[in-house]
A = this chain, B = another copy of it.
Amino acid sequence: MALVVQKFGGTSVGDADRIRMVADHVARTQRSGDHVVVVVSAMGKSTDQLLRLAGDVSNSEIPPREMDMLLTAGERISMSLLCIALADLGVKATSFTGSQAGIITDTDHTRAKILDVRPDRLKEAINEGIVPVVAGFQGVSIEKDVTTLGRGGSDVTAVALAAALDADVCEIYTDVTGVYSADPRVVPNAKRLPRVSFEEMLEMAATGGRVLMLRSVEFARNHHVPLHVRSSFTWEPGTWVVEEEPTMEQAIVSAVTHDVSEAKVTVVRVSDQPGVAAKLFRALANEGINVDMIVQNVSAEGFTDISFTVPRSDLAGATSAAESIQQELGFTSITTDSSIARVSLIGAGMKSYPGVTAKMFETLAEENVNIEMISTSSIRISCVVDEADVERAMIALHAAFELG
């Protein structure tokens, strides 16, 4: 008898029909003999509607505490509706707010972090044969205020509960059928991966894979919670995200990911001295700008170029932050490029096969794709290329590494 946490996102509970289908699936899981704990997001577009209402009543900044109070109404609606639908199928179910489920957070409204999980009421319910249906995305702060966990928060709720309840699996239901070897919209013969390691999933989440947020994968890895990413539309088995088993032979390359949300900034001919890079990135950090890749060329005649990528929405801020210290640092100029793309190869087996990098570069060269920046980890190689080349690069890499 397994304990299964099932998390359903906004599209999975988007309307009354979909809620009935989710209820049916939960009921079937329970009838098969497993214990089920459900975590739900707010219904489809309801969060957007609430945000619009907030904009309609205010022209100034929204107080974060009230924003959290407002948005958490969404999950209360979806979770109680799901319990009502389950009752209609004869399944005993009880809804729990984040607070009632024991999700204790810090006081950082709109992006709170979970400090503790005290799932006593959920355990009680499970022991009584009741299916707990928990509001995702929300918790209660140590000051007893309602908080939200920020983007991807419902996945974090599900993983945190799975960890605290020592669940056998945390199933993340979504509108895709799993994790693919590449984005199927770009690479038509991309195939679903039956399993990936946490490390691979982390690299994929960090480099453009949109199925899971980095944060929930990290949480799952740290707490050894096996994830199963699957579809609430077809209900077929999806992709397992699990710990790497050392005895297992690993695919050298599992997936190609891409990301077209970033822009490149190059600071040209900066003096190659200790402390210069520190000053530059402190200036960016002070503006709250998240820098992703950083590449510094080898020095020539005591000068170097520093290139880095930032979210496109931060490009203007990054440029002006860099300009503000141009005099101090004495660099020549700043160039920017907002039509770049990042293409990454990810594979846990890559560490022991040094030829992968060479093959990647050869493949891109054959396609006449110029590489503008390179960054690597032990299980990932990322290249920044022209955005116009990204599709060609993806298809060529996917074929060269026989991922289809």
Contact = CB atoms under 8 A, between A and B. Distances in A.
A73 B77 contact: yes
> Considering residues A53, A54, A69, which has the most beta carbons from chain B within 10 angstroms of its beta carbon?
A69
B84 A80 contact: no
Instruction: Give the secondary structure class of A's interface.
Output: helix
B53 A67 contact: no
Sort chain A's interface into a size bin: 35 or more
A19 interface: yes
A60 interface: yes
A72 interface: yes
Query: What is the copy number of this chain in the assembly?
Result: 2
Interface string A130-144: 000000000000001
A357 interface: no
Contacts of A67: 80, 84
B87 A62 contact: yes
Contact of A53 (B16, B53, B57, B74): B16
30 contacts: A16-B53, A16-B56, A16-B57, A50-B77, A53-B81, A54-B80, A54-B81, A57-B81, A57-B82, A57-B84, A58-B87, A59-B88, A60-B87, A61-B87, A63-B84, A63-B87, A65-B95, A66-B80, A66-B83, A66-B84, A66-B93, A66-B95, A69-B83, A69-B95, A70-B81, A70-B84, A73-B73, A73-B74, A73-B76, A97-B146
A88 B73 contact: no
A77 B81 contact: no
Interface in A75-101: 76-77, 79-85, 87-88, 93-95, 97, 100
A144 B81 contact: no
Contacts of A82: 57
A191 interface: no
A218 to B, nearest CB: 31
Contacts of A77: 50, 53, 70, 73
Contacts of A70: 76-77, 80-81, 84
Interface string A154-182: 00000000000000000000000000000
B84 A58 contact: yes
Nearest to A81: B57
Contacts of A87: 58, 60-63, 66
A15 to B, nearest CB: 8
Interface string A84-125: 110110000111010010000000000000000000000000
A148 to B, nearest CB: 12
Nearest to A70: B80
A57 B73 contact: no
A37 interface: no
Nearest to A65: B94
Contacts of A20: 57
A88 B57 contact: yes
A68 B94 CA distance: 12
